[in-house]
Amino acid sequence: QMKGAPKGYKFGSSVAIDGDRVVVGAPSDKFKGNDTGSASIYERHNDGTYPLKAVIYANDAYWANFFGGAVAIDKDHVIVGASDNNEAALKAGAAYIFESDSKGNYPQKYKLINEKSGTWEHFGTSVSVSARRVLVGSLKGKGASGTGTAWLYHDPCVSGLVCDDGD
């Protein structure tokens, strides 16, 4: 068990590991209301323990977004899904990109949304990251009932994709 893990909040609903870093999602964290969500980052020490390094939240955290329902990590980049985010449409979803800075903090860099998302698409249900590629899954494609969709982004937010900066 990870030390410093919050009780409840569906901690452990999603997990990812890369080298000595571990990310654990807690989509029911009540940071800004029920089911706002969070993700905890742990880093392995020389003695083999994994103390808590950071707890991250979406800059636009809001209740019932389920941020942390999906997590991924690759080197200094952490991707977190919020499958019920309402920015593009009701429960359309979003994925957030965090990057470790020189002080070991994980500020939010970008928020990925799919402008073409339909209601209840749940973009961000699953996420993956490798090098400069981000893969985001959704339960339903626009206009397709329950068929699911996966979106592959190369150099997200660098190549003109729909991104909000972290502010």
The pTM of the full predicted model, rounded to 2 decimals, is 0.87
Termini Cα distance of the chain = 33
pLDDT digits (tens, 9 = 90+) for 54-79: 999 999 988 788 999 999 999 999 99
Strands ordered across the beta sheet of 38-43: 14-18, 21-26, 38-43, 52-56
Q: Find out whether 153 and 134 touch, Cβ atoms under 8 Å.
A: yes
Residue 164 amino acid letter: D
Strand 21-26 to 67-74 pairing: unpaired
Tens place of pLDDT per residue across the chain (167 aa): 665 556 668 888 999 999 999 999 998 888 777 888 999 999 999 999 999 999 999 999 887 889 999 999 999 999 999 998 888 888 889 999 999 999 989 999 999 988 777 787 889 999 999 987 899 998 886 555 667 888 888 876 644 344 555 44
